[in-house]
């Protein structure tokens, strides 16, 4: 009889790369009976996973915490799974409730939330943010000791937790999905295409990318794929002079995203130097590498050590520095091919999901003995 597994998220969408395409799909292929309680229009089956839909018409944080988490808990208990695996900090309370009912529970930590809090200026002055950050850090770490395991998206994040089964399962890309993608057909012109893929926010450097594109006066075109964090930011970006040199494609299915990356010349990942980003491992960097592209990326020391010579490291807050990074490839396009090939080889050898999948399956096997 198959072990029943239930993944839960009230914050993410059904097609989330880490949750559905990687973890749930890997578990399903390994023979587990996998359900996923998540925001969706209706129940369905995707990639071998049974989607149990949560109403996402109201996805505000307070609504998720007070109401949607209760709905998710009810659905989770109906499934009566052998192991529960939740993905959002706001569901720690749900995880504790499942433990009280004698269930096995994994907490999957995607982000360093205490560091994120420090970067959220809307929470007030820094002393207020530090107080909230310390309080949340204590809450998260103390509660996590009660769970059967903690899975974190990086080694550094996993080391924070005092759980005996704290491991890292990095958000590396799935090799075969990328290799099967074909590049889209580009317009018949000689424009140099730089690409940004992911959540479109101010602190991910979108405005600087649009502004630097303007400096090339039409020689460079910026492709933007993803969803703007707000209509206000979208309007701000569209009002910039450089936006006329940009193409916005919105949020696309993962396989289509890779087709656009493969058709571009250069991947961009110029995140602001916030505490949360400086030691992160952006999945998009790995996807650019897998698609055989060089990068222009933020000059964080951790990134330089972790990724190595994948392109040009620049000051993400300095438009001229970003411009120089782009020019390095624009003026000598042979560098695109040579660094791109090295990046793909590095991805295959060091950064594909296959290695992380093995760690995930070994943990499940251990917990379900």
Where do the domains of the chain lie?
A: 4-172+352-368, 176-351
Of 185-189, 237-241, 290-294, the range with the lowest mean pLDDT is 185-189
pLDDT digits (tens, 9 = 90+) for 121-132: 889 999 999 999
pLDDT of residue 64: 74
pLDDT interval class at 204 (50, 70, 90): very high
Per mean pLDDT, which of 42-46, 119-123, 171-175 is the most reliable? 42-46
pLDDT of residue 253: 86
Do the strands 44-46 and 49-54 form a parallel or antiparallel pair, or are they unpaired? antiparallel
* pLDDT at position 280 over 70: yes
Q: Which two tokens stand for residue 224?
A: 């933007």
201: helix, strand or coil: coil
pLDDT of residue 59: 66
Calculate mean pLDDT across residues 54-60.
Answer: 76
Q: How many helices (H) and strands (E) does the chain have?
A: 17, 14
Q: Give which of 196, 187, 185, 154 is closest to 293, Cα–Cα.
A: 196
pLDDT digits (tens, 9 = 90+) for 61-90: 666 766 899 999 999 999 999 999 999 999
pLDDT of residue 55: 87
CATH architecture of 4-172+352-368: 3-Layer(aba) Sandwich (3.40)
CA end-to-end distance (rounded Å), the chain? 13
Q: Which two tokens stand for residue 337?
A: 């091919």
The radius of gyration of the chain from alpha carbons, rounded to an integer in Å, stands at 21
Q: pLDDT: is 291 or 119 the higher one?
A: 291
* pLDDT at position 189 over 90: no
Alpha helices (H) in 80-119, listed in sequence order: 92-100, 113-118
Q: At what angle do helices 254-263 and 283-290 cross, to 10 degrees?
A: 60
pLDDT digits (tens, 9 = 90+) for 311-358: 999 999 999 999 999 999 999 999 999 999 999 999 999 999 998 999
DSSP state letter for 191:
P
**Cβ burial, residue 162 (10 Å; 0-12/13-18/19+):** exposed
Percent of the chain predicted with pLDDT > 70 = 98
pLDDT of residue 217: 95
Residue 83, CA distances (Å) to 69, 79, 178, 196, 215 in order:
18, 10, 30, 37, 54
Percent of the chain predicted with pLDDT > 90 = 87
Q: Give which of 303, 26, 306, 13 is closest to 176, Cα–Cα.
A: 26
pLDDT of residue 65: 66
**Rounded to whole angstroms, how far apart are CA atoms 91 and 224?**
32
pLDDT of residue 255: 85
pLDDT interval class at 1 (50, 70, 90): low
Q: What is 176-351's CATH number, 2.60.40.420, 3.50.50.60, 2.40.40.20, 3.40.50.2000? A: 3.40.50.2000
* pLDDT at position 40 over 90: yes
Q: pLDDT: is 190 or 243 the higher one?
A: 243
Same fold, 4-172+352-368 and 176-351: yes
Calculate mean pLDDT across residues 362-367.
Answer: 98
* pLDDT at position 278 over 80: yes
Calculate mean pLDDT across residues 272-292.
Answer: 93
What's the whole-number average pLDDT of the chain? 95
């Amino acid at each position: 009889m198959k072990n029943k597994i239930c993944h839960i998220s009230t914050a993410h969408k059904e097609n989330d790369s880490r949750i559905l395409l990687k973890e749930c799909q890997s578990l399903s292929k390994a023979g587990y009976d996998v359900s996923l309680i998540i925001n969706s229009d209706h129940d369905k089956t995707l990639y071998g996973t049974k989607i149990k839909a949560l109403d996402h018409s109201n996805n505000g944080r307070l609504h998720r915490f007070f109401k949607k988490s209760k709905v998710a808990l009810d659905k989770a208990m109906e499934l009566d799974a052998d192991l529960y695996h939740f993905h959002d900090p706001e569901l720690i309370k749900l995880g504790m409730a499942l433990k009280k009912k004698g269930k096995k529970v994994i907490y999957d930590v995607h982000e360093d939330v205490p560091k994120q809090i420090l970067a959220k200026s809307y929470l007030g002055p820094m002393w207020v943010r530090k107080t909230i950050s310390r309080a949340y850090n204590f809450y998260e770490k103390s509660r996590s000791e009660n769970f059967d395991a903690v899975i974190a998206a990086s080694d550094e994040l996993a080391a924070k937790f005092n759980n005996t089964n704290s491991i890292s399962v990095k958000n590396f890309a799935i090799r075969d999905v990328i290799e099967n993608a074909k590049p889209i057909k580009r317009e018949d012109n000689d424009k140099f295409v730089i690409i940004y893929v992911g959540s479109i926010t101010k602190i991910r450097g979108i405005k600087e990318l649009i502004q630097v594109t303007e400096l090339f006066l039409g020689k460079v075109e910026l492709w933007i794929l993803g969803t703007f964090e707000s209509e206000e930011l979208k309007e701000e970006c569209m009002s910039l002079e450089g936006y006329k040199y940009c193409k916005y494609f919105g949020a696309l299915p993962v396989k289509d995203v890779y087709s656009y990356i493969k058709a571009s010349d250069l991947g961009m990942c110029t995140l602001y130097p916030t505490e949360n980003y400086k030691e992160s491992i952006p999945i998009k960097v790995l996807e650019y590498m897998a698609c055989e592209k060089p990068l222009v990326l933020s000059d964080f020391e951790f990134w330089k050590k972790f990724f190595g010579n994948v392109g040009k490291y620049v000051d993400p807050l300095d438009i001229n520095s970003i411009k120089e990074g782009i020019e390095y490839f624009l003026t000598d396009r042979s560098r695109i091919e040579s660094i791109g090939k090295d990046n793909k080889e590095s991805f295959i050898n060091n950064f594909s999901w296959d290695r992380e999948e093995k760690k995930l399956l070994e943990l499940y096997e251990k917990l379900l003995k």
